[in-house]
Structure 1
Amino acid sequence: MSASPPVPGAPSSVGLDQLARHAVATVVGMQAPAAEHDRELVLRLLEIGFLPGERVRVIAHGYPGGEPVAVRLGHTTFALRRHEAAFIRVVPEGRPA
């Protein structure tokens, strides 16, 4: 999957799907979805806590193909499809916000 375009006002952001294993990042926003079913997905991701300012850590990538992506948010671990993780825009630690 190719990298998603950046969220306006969030330079240096990448999709959560682009992070390597053990990478830590801060959520800066959500990629605007085009399809209606993706709008519902983005709303669900916001509802479960992928909000701007939250820190996330990639725990693991599934094999083969890198799916699912296991992500730690607070004290909870989520397994996200790469398509889902791509909507979550983050700034990896060590990069300027």
Structure 2
Amino acid sequence: MSDPYEVLGVDPQSGDAEIRRRYLELVRRHPPDQEPERFAAIREAYGQLRDPVVRLKSRLFPLETSDTMDAILAEMERRLRSARIPMKTLLSLAE
């Protein structure tokens, strides 16, 4: 599976409005009747990024099928120590 940020051409720090704007732009540019594979990839990428909570979880805890539990824990520790999560996102998790 390809990176949804690359498929949509947005920065991982992009907000909901920017992700949606880019999604709509790409859907208009690549209609399903003309480019069904590209359209499907765009829809799948947007599906992964449209929910901010799911987006945050996938950024904090990406899983690779070949990772061991120790490797996953070490990677999570490294990411959490260096991660800067916007206050708005943290507060939305409490709701």
TM-score normalised by structure 2 residue count: 0.31
Q: Which has the higher contact order (CA 8 A, sep 6+)?
A: 1
Tell me which protein shows more strand as a share of its residues: 1
Tell me which protein shows more helix as a share of its residues: 2
TM-score normalised by structure 1 residue count: 0.31
Larger-gyration structure (1/2): 2
